[in-house]
Structure 1
Amino acid sequence: MLKNESSERNYERKYEPDERYQELGTSARVWHVYNDEADKYDTDLVEGMSGSLDVLLIFAALFAGIITAFLSQTAQKLDVDTGGVTIALLNEIIALQRATTQNGVDVSSIPRASSTSTPSTLILWVNGLWFTSLNLSIASALLSVLAKQWFHQYSAFKPGSARERAFTRQFRFDGLEKWHVPLIVGLLPSILHASLGLFLLGLFIYLVDLRPSMAISVGILSISLGIVYLITILIPLVDVQCAYRTPLTDILSNILRYYCNQSVRVRHIYRLFEQLQDSLPGPSE
């Protein structure tokens, strides 16, 4: 295997030597070498990104289906509860009938049943959290599909000579880096993480109204998962060798480094200002 790899990288045998003064010509060896190395790099890049996007799409689809199943039960409570209104009206009718059969009972003292019903605050919170979670899940799936199309365009066929193919590839790669496509793809799982967090929060609120005893166990498990998630993100900020590094960790690291540099600069300026004050002559001088 190593012998085959070394033979593939022996470009002096693979490609004929360039003629004199044609070392940068349209079909020079350097362009073929660049294209071969770039193809290997791009293949690994596109396959790795596409693999992660495929997993993300599957998870987003399954998770959206789970949220939809829960919403199908709770979204009905946002509408007018016709059953509850009917029961309230029947109770009012029965109370009026009893009042008419009894002497000394004032009919006007019987409270009137409301013909409208409003959902409780907990139900509003639950549906709001779950609808937001569903939107985030769909957004991550949409962005994943768009990212796969971006990489498809990036790896599309490049016509022309060896030099033109090299220039086209470098132009596409520079655009990929300029518009932070790898960073966007790396942050897509964070959208699903936020969606999952909102879903668990909504599930906890829903169980508080339904079964408080079950809400305690779900709440403890959700908080434990949240703590573990935060630890895996924050540990690489302390230990550079930690393997729990993600694009979100890199962003937090850059932000932390920026503010640390700013604080060092402020302290340095303050120290220079103090030295300048000490060097100035006093009033008596």
Structure 2
Amino acid sequence: VRYIEVSPPAGWQTMNKTVHEFDQDKVQDCKEDIDTLLVFTGLYSAVLSAFVIESYTDLQPDPNTQMTFLLERIANQTQSYSITSGTLNSTAQPPSPPPQFTAPLWAVRVNGLWFASLIISLATASFSMLVKQWLREYLASEYTSPQERLRARQYRKPGLGKWKVFEIAAVLPMLLQLSLGLFFLGLCFFTANVDDQMGLTCIPLVSGWAFLFVAATLAPLVSPRCPYKMPLLKSVMRTAR
């Protein structure tokens, strides 16, 4: 008995190649955006961590203040000693409790904003890696024949839309922008407390950035021909139609 291997029709091969190239281009664009996002997130988190380390000390009691309090207590105790009839007496009053530390409101606000910003940026990096894994699994194929590859692709394709994989990928840059906005807001509080002139310098710059960002984001809603389009905004516009 002779077995003759029959190659799949050329139509299946052509269709599989066309569909694979289409999916590859779409996934590759998404992966490139995520790679850029991961690089920026790493650099941004490193810079933000330096600010958090510096500002975190404002939430704790100053060791110098506590040391000064103890030295004053020792000095008062020493000065109160007197010798009467060969007896060492002390007229010092009972020691008062150390002053209660309360973190200043500006320090609580700044650290709250910066810690929230750091958490969001790290969460963005975490979800970015997850999305890359999801997309890699979508393109992965263990089948050899074009028919089986197309069947696998048609089986997986509805899942991308149902579970909003590309929409999740489109939200990630906005999360990073939110993290950046929280950092800028905390920076305004921080500089305004350090020096009024520094605050007057940072606040207009941050306000200008926020205005330009919002204007560039919403511009396509005003003019459909505006090229300032983002994947998330395009999805919202398609849904609104």
Q: Fold match, TM over 0.5?
A: yes
Residue 115 of structure 1 deviates from its aligned partner by: 4.1
1:27 partner SS: coil
> Which whole-Å deviations, capped at 9, do the CAs of 1:166-216 have from their partners, x for residues lacking one?
111122222112211111111110011000000011111111111121111
Q: What is the Cα deviation at residue 33 of structure 1?
A: 2.1
SS in 2 for 1:243: coil
| Residue correspondences, number | 228
Q: What is the CA distance between 1:157 and its match in structure 2?
A: 2.1
- Partners in 2 of 1:74 and 1:146 — Cα distance? 32
What code does the residue aligned with 1:150 have?
W
Relative to structure 1, the CA distance from residue 93 to residue 212 in structure 2 (aligned partners, 3 Å threshold; closer, same or farther) is farther
Cα–Cα, structure 1 residues 123 and 182, in superposed 2: closer, same or farther, change >3 Å?
same
Matched, 1:57 2:41: no
Report 1 or 2 for greater relative contact order, CA contacts < 8 Å, sequence distance ≥ 6.
2
Residue 191 of structure 1 corresponds to: 175
Query: Unpaired runs of 5+ in structure 1?
Result: 1-25, 259-285
Q: Which residue of 2 aligns with 1:136?
A: 120
Amino acid at match of 1:245: K
Question: How far 1:87 moved relative to its partner?
Answer: 2.0
Counterparts of 2:139 and 2:150, CA distance in 1:
13
TM-score (norm 1): 0.71
Q: Which position in structure 1 is the counterpart of 2:129?
A: 145
User: Offset at 1:57?
Assistant: 0.5
Q: Which amino acid aligns with 2:61?
A: V
- Does the CA-based 8 Å contact 1:158-1:169 persist in structure 2? no
Aligned to 2:226: 242
Q: In the alignment, what sits opposite 2:86? A: none
- Aligned 8 A contact 1:126 1:202 in 2: yes
Looking at structure 1, the residues matched to 126 and 58 of structure 2 have their Cα atoms a distance apart, in angstroms, of 29
Aligned counterpart, 2:150: 166
In structure 1, C-alpha distance between the alignment counterparts of 2:140 and 2:236, rounded to whole Å? 34
> Contact conserved, 2:141 with 2:149, CA < 8 A, in 1?
no
Q: How does 1:104-115 map onto structure 2 within 5 Å?
A: 112=96, 114-115=98-99
Per-residue deviation, residues 90-147 of structure 1 (Å, max 9, x unmatched): 446657778999xxxx987xx9463442211111111111110000110111011111
Cα distance in structure 1, aligned partners of 2:19 and 2:189 = 52
* Equivalent residue letter for 1:71: V
Q: Does residue 27 in structure 1 map to residue 8 in structure 2?
A: yes
Shift of 1:88: 3.4
Report the CA distance between 1:72 and its aligned residue. Answer: 1.0
Given the alignment of the two structures, is residue 40 of structure 1 paired with residue 21 of structure 2, yes or no? yes
Listed one character per residue, the Cα deviations across residues 7-46 of structure 1 (whole Å, up to 9, x for unaligned) are xxxxxxxxxxxxxxxxxxx934432222011111122122
Distance 1:126 1:52, change over 3 A: same
Distance 1:54 1:171 in 2: 27
Letter matched to residue 171 of structure 1 = Y
> How has the CA–CA distance of structure 1 residues 211 and 163 changed in structure 2, closer, same or farther, with 3 Å as cutoff?
same
Quote the Cα distance in structure 2 between the aligned partners of 1:155 and 1:135.
31
Q: Whole-Å Cα distance in 2 between the matches of residues 235 and 173 of structure 1?
A: 32
1:85 touches 1:117 (CA, 8 Å); kept in 2?
A: no
Q: Distance in 2 between matches of 1:97 and 1:207?
A: 43
Unaligned runs of 5+ in 2: 1-6, 83-90
Residues 251 and 122 of structure 1, relative CA distance in 2, 3 Å threshold: farther
- Tell me if structure 2 keeps the 8 A contact 1:67–1:134: yes
Q: Name the aligned partner's letter for residue 175 of structure 2.
A: I
Cα distance change, pair 253–135 in 1 and its aligned pair in 2 (3 A):
same
